[in-house]
């Protein structure tokens, strides 16, 4: 292979596209083993030209049969290939001239809840795959429910294998209607349904001649244009202190800065702020960003705040605005997704990590266990097993500074850690009791 | 640099995420160390660590696992950068370990596998509880499943089936005595992101990354620069070619590629059009088997 002419118009164009200012959109995909999820992801990666040639060739060699098996592009570990399953959340990257995508690919088998919750936790958009021949099945409901539980703002239902139902508009409409009705119950803010064939590429990147009745966007077009900027909370200023910076050098003798990531809202130099738990107020003297001082900081910038008064502020404290602070509470009412074999039971002791604050807590009460298929609340339940979701009340040894998860994903979430094994065993979303 | 719509670009988003991760480790773990090889990924990681704590110094040392087969340019670069930042450099030496009989040279001359016990010994000796590595998830299929905080048992081993779930940006840094974490702040960066960040921040890199006329020999379809570790073998005729390195590993095994990219901007243009992964293109040791990285990671490699 000869060297690339880096000054050719093609190279210059490619470099220009690469340099373009883009935003990142995070996607979670869910689907069961047979509905073609791996093929769809392979298709997205391949058709968006993100599949590097050598990976493609390795797959071409490993594929059985005549056609290249796109699913092999995503089945990562040898252990998985041998067993024909996907073990864990895998992350993929692809980029188009408009956007760059981080895709959390979650398997659809037994560990589905734990993995899907993990993948959906950071997602702007979730893709649920449905086999057109089978329509909306139990697992599709479950995936849609988990996406809504995690407050993923955009849900896409990809009705796959449309070629196997003769590209029937009627079949597609029926599935779309079913999903609409179900989504209405879940408070899914934005639902889009697309008829596709991942195997043949219809409506994935290019409009399909087989679906003249479909006037909506292709899947990729939707991913590229869905409006994610307004999903963030820019109203409630929240800054969990992560690390205190004190250089203690001659040059920066008096420097004392509070480093952290803006969880939500906007902070500006000169703003009056209130520090929790002390409740003391002061003003922002300066904000240092990665390239020096800035006038303002917003989520998810990592910055360092300097304050006008010399207060006692440490990791785990939260800086807010006096007229708008989160609730300080030791009682945590939350929907908890349990992620380990040993069940969660009342009176159990557990560690909680919320923003940058870690506290110990005791499980006071299990109000109910949720059946993720029927949404039925089982109030007789005495424990939460692996992959169960339930409403739990915890009592923490110290106050946490919280908001409802529905209002603020950043300050409404926590993880649960087993104090003996140190394993992450649960994920919690704070919601008002009810 | 006002952003009236309160949006960050992809590089700013990635930068913020990495700084968050680095600070979280410094806050929660007693004795972190940053693995610094002088390669482009670890250079970017070190720069992010500098930004995370500025104007204070980076509050942890950096460590280099020196295989004894490094390009001299890279070592020079390493020492200069470390001196500029005023951080402590720890060198874990593979030749020393070989001299002590801890590890033995492999028949193929690759020290990739034998650097793992050297790394693990150094971790134990210094009591490091967290090791920052510059690996990216887009590099390899086994890496695609890696966490930001990757838990390792007391033998430094990675068990892909028992990783901790990682939700939101809430990282679990709790470990028992003897266990450690590998932390990958660049997990979500792609090769192109790394290069664009180098361009944007005007970060210095070793000259090996840029095209220059070098004396090379061709082996199994790949070009190797002639140096103290690569001598022409029988039947090989050295010739001069305009080449650069896409990764900087051991000088005896890292191939160069033909390139006209003499500036960072050229490199970005080149990568944007070629779309060949750097490992597939230049690392002889990863071609051994499709599962090579998975196996090495289980043993404690990065």
Is A103 near chain B, with CB under 8 Å?
no
**Is residue B83 domain-shared with residue B183, that is, in the same domain?**
yes
- pLDDT bracket for residue B197 (50, 70, 90): very high
pLDDT at A183: 87
Note which residues in 68-97 of chain B have CB less than 8 A from chain A.
none
**Is residue B280 domain-shared with residue B295, that is, in the same domain?**
no
**Is residue B264 domain-shared with residue B216, that is, in the same domain?**
yes
**Residue B243 counted as domain residue:** yes
CB contact under 8 A, B12 and A301: yes
What residue spans of B202-302 are helical by DSSP H? 264-274, 278-282, 292-299
pLDDT at B131 over 90: yes
pLDDT at A123: 94
**Residue B90 counted as domain residue:** yes
Q: What is the CATH number of the domain that holds B189?
A: 3.40.50.620
| DSSP 3-state of A89 | coil
Query: Which structural domain range is residue B266 located in?
Result: 206-285
CATH class of A18-231: alpha beta
**Residue B1 counted as domain residue:** no
User: What angle, rounded to 10 degrees, do the helices at A9-19 and B191-201 form?
Assistant: 80
How far is B169 from A120, CA to CA, in rounded Å? 12
**Is residue B179 domain-shared with residue B251, that is, in the same domain?**
no
**Is residue B175 domain-shared with residue B119, that is, in the same domain?**
yes
pLDDT at B139: 80
Q: Which residue has the tokens 């796959």?
A: A160
CB contact under 8 A, A18 and B168: no
- Averaged over B173-196, what is the pLDDT? 92
**Residue B2 counted as domain residue:** no
Most confident of A371-385, B132-146, B288-302: A371-385
pLDDT at B276: 39
**Is residue B73 domain-shared with residue B160, that is, in the same domain?**
yes
Burial of B75 (0-12, 13-18, 19+ CB in 10 A): middle
How far is A60 from A72, CA to CA, in rounded Å? 9
Is A63 near chain B, with CB under 8 Å?
no
**Is residue B251 domain-shared with residue B137, that is, in the same domain?**
no
Q: Which residues on B lie below 8 Å from A351 (Cβ)?
A: 174
pLDDT at A72: 56
**Is residue B124 domain-shared with residue B145, that is, in the same domain?**
yes
**Is residue B271 domain-shared with residue B233, that is, in the same domain?**
yes
* B55: preceding bond cis by omega (within 30 degrees): yes
pLDDT at A66: 47
CATH class of A327-430: mainly beta
How far is A333 from A336, CA to CA, in rounded Å? 9
pLDDT at B159 over 80: no
Is A60 near chain B, with CB under 8 Å?
no
Is B196 near chain A, with CB under 8 Å?
yes
CA A21 to chain B, closest CA, distance in angstroms equals 6
**Is residue B214 domain-shared with residue B141, that is, in the same domain?**
no
CB contact under 8 A, A77 and B174: no
**Is residue B247 domain-shared with residue B180, that is, in the same domain?**
no
Instruction: Report the largest interatomic distance among the alpha carbons of chain A, rounded to a whole angstrom.
Output: 76
**Residue B201 counted as domain residue:** no
**Is residue B216 domain-shared with residue B164, that is, in the same domain?**
no
* CATH dotted code for A239-320: 2.40.30.10
CATH 2.40.30.10 maps onto chain A at 239-320, 327-430
**pLDDT 10s per residue in chain A (434 long)?**
467 788 877 677 777 777 777 889 999 988 766 678 878 888 887 776 644 444 445 555 555 554 556 565 555 555 555 555 455 778 888 887 788 899 988 876 656 788 888 889 999 999 999 999 999 888 888 889 999 999 999 999 999 999 999 999 999 999 999 999 888 888 788 999 999 999 888 999 889 999 999 999 999 999 999 998 778 899 999 999 999 999 988 888 889 999 999 999 999 999 999 999 999 999 999 999 999 999 999 999 999 999 999 899 999 999 999 999 999 999 999 999 999 999 999 999 999 999 999 999 999 999 999 988 788 999 999 999 998 999 999 999 999 999 999 999 999 999 999 999 999 999 999 997 65
Can you tell me the ipTM of this complex?
0.90
Residue of B175, B272, B297 best to disrupt the A interface, most CBs of A under 10 A: B272
Structurally, how many domains does chain B consist of?
A: 2
CA A202 to chain B, closest CA, distance in angstroms equals 25
How far is A429 from A333, CA to CA, in rounded Å? 8
pLDDT at B140: 72
């Amino acid at each position: 292979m000869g060297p690339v002419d880096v000054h050719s118009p093609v190279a210059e164009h490619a470099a220009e596209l690469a340099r373009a200012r883009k935003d990142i959109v995070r996607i979670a995909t869910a689907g069961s083993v047979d509905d073609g999820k791996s093929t769809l992801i392979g298709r997205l990666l391949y058709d968006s030209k993100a599949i590097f040639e050598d990976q493609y060739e390795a797959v071409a060699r490993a594929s059985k049969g005549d056609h290249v098996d796109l699913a092999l592009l995503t089945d990562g570990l040898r252990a998985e290939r041998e067993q024909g399953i996907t073990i864990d959340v895998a992350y993929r990257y692809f980029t188009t001239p408009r956007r760059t995508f981080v895709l959390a690919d979650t398997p659809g088998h037994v560990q589905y809840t734990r993995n899907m919750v993990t993948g959906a936790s950071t997602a702007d958009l979730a893709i649920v795959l449905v086999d057109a021949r089978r329509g909306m099945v139990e697992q599709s409901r479950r995936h849609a429910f988990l996406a809504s539980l995690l407050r993923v703002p955009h849900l896409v239902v990809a009705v796959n294998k449309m070629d196997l139902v003769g590209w029937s508009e009627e079949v597609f409409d029926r599935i779309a209607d079913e999903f609409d009705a179900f989504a209405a119950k879940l408070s899914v803010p934005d639902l889009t349904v697309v008829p596709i064939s991942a195997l043949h590429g219809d409506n994935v990147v290019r409009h399909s001649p087989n679906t003249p009745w479909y006037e909506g966007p292709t899947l990729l077009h939707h991913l590229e244009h869905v409006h994610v900027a307004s999903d963030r909370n820019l109203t409630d200023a929240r800054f969990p202190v992560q690390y205190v910076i004190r250089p203690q050098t001659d040059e920066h003798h008096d420097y004392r800065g509070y480093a952290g990531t803006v969880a939500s809202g906007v902070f500006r130099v000169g703003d009056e702020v209130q520090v929790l738990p002390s409740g003391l107020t002061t003003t922002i003297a300066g904000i240092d960003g990665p390239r020096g001082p800035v006038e303002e900081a917003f989520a998810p910038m990592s910055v360092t705040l300097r304050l006008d008064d010399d207060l006692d502020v440490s990791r785990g404290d939260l800086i807010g605005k006096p007229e708008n602070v989160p609730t300080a509470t030791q009682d945590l009412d939350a929907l908890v997704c349990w992620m380990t074999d040993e069940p969660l039971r009342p009176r159990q002791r557990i560690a909680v990590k919320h923003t940058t604050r870690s506290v110990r807590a005791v499980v006071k009460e299990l109000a109910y266990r949720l059946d993720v298929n029927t949404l039925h609340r089982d109030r007789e339940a005495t424990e939460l097993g692996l992959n169960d979701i339930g409403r739990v009340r915890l009592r923490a040894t110290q106050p946490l500074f919280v908001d409802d998860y529905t209002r603020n994903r950043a300050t409404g979430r926590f993880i649960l850690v087993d104090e003996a094994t140190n394993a992450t065993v649960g994920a919690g979303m704070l919601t008002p009791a009810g | 640099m006002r952003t009236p719509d309160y949006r960050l670009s992809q590089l700013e988003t990635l930068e913020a995420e990495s700084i968050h991760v680095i600070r979280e480790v410094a806050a929660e773990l007693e004795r972190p160390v940053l693995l610094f090889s002088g390669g482009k990924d670890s250079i970017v990681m070190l720069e992010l660590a500098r930004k995370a704590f500025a104007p204070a110094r980076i509050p942890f040392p950096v460590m280099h696992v020196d295989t004894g087969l490094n390009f001299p340019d890279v070592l020079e670069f390493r020492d200069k950068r470390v001196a500029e930042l005023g951080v402590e450099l720890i060198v874990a030496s593979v030749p020393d370990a070989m001299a002590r009989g801890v590890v033995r040279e492999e028949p193929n001359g690759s020290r990739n596998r034998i650097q793992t016990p050297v790394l693990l010994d150094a971790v134990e000796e210094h009591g490091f509880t967290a090791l920052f590595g510059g690996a990216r998830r887009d590099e390899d299929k086994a890496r695609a499943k890696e966490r930001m905080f990757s838990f390792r048992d007391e033998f430094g081993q990675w068990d892909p089936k028992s990783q901790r779930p990682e939700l939101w940006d809430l990282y679990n840094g709790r470990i028992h005595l003897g266990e450690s974490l590998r932390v990958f702040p660049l997990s979500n960066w792609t090769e192109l992101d790394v290069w664009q960040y180098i361009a944007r921040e005007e970060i210095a890199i070793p000259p090996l990354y840029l095209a220059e006329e070098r004396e090379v020999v061709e082996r199994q379809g790949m070009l190797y620069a002639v140096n103290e570790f690569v001598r022409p073998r029988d039947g090989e005729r050295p010739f001069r070619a305009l080449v650069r390195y896409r990764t900087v590993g051991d000088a005896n095994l890292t191939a160069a590629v033909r390139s006209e990219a003499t500036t960072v901007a050229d490199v970005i243009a080149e990568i944007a059009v070629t779309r060949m992964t750097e490992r597939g293109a230049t690392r002889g040791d990863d071609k051994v088997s499709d599962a090579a990285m998975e196996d090495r990671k289980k043993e404690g490699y990065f």
